[in-house]
Chain A
Amino acid sequence: QVQLQESGPGLVKPSQTLSLTCTVSSGSISSGGYYWSWIRQHPGKGLEWIGYIYYSGSSDYNPSLKSRATISVDTSKNQFSLKLRSVTAADTAVYYCARENRVRFGDYYFDYWGQGTLVTVSS
């Protein structure tokens, strides 16, 4: 059973960079067909897809983040990371890492998720 675990600071100051890492266990991040994603949920609100990275390094992002997000992968550590620059209070949310399963053509879904980590942006 694949497991994902987020780690990183729970408090970030406005205008600084939010940095989170997701460690994948019981499965290889280099397996084909899986897209390693970040999703966030503002307090009491819905879900927002942030972006993904593939083990090869290709990535895609939500345009709503206005190019503030960067996702990277470290296959040697079986980890992927999120950096979100110039944060404001509006970036306060629970951040989830998740695996998007695209193994079967046309049937794509988030099959494994981390437990989520609350990041608060405040001075």
Chain B
Amino acid sequence: DIQMTQSPSSLSASVGDSVTITCRASQDIRNDLGWYQQKAGKAPKRLIYAASSLQSGVPSRFSGSGSGTEFTLTISSLQPEDFATYYCLQHNDYPRTFGQGTKVEIK
């Protein structure tokens, strides 16, 4: 199985701050990675595909980068609606594996 190690597990930030979340894959997954946002009691929603492409309808303050084994999600200028939990997901191989999640909380 491909292990996805995500960090940090949680962070506190203020509206307007920029934050970065990292995912590391246990083997080369090219750019077969997506980032998902999950709000309390809701199903996840994809924000980024192919590691760095923005899903249609997602604000441009979200961006992704990386390939191979190291990936990052950056949210520039945090907005109140961005406080949620974020997951990376690899689709290079089965079983599909998610990162452990990063909870972004209001400072």
Contacts and interface: CB of A to CB of B under 8 A. Distances in A.
Given A49-B95, A96-B43, A106 B32 contact: yes
Given A60-B94, A113-B44, A47 B87 contact: yes
Contacts of A15: none
By CB atoms of chain B within 10 A, which of A51, A62, A108, A111 has the most? A108
Contacts of A63: 1, 95
Interface residues of A, number: 24
Q: Is the interface of A mostly helix, strand, loop or mixed?
A: strand
A46 B87 contact: yes
A109 B49 contact: yes
Interface string A14-40: 000000000000000000000000000
Contact of B91 (A51, A98, A109): A109
B64 interface: no
B91 A115 contact: no
Contact of A46 (B49, B50, B101): B101
Nearest to B96: A49
A67 interface: no
Contact of A108 (B36, B91, B97, B100): B91
Contact of A109 (B34, B87, B99, B101): B34
Interface of A: 45-49, 51, 60-64, 96, 98, 100, 106-111, 113-116
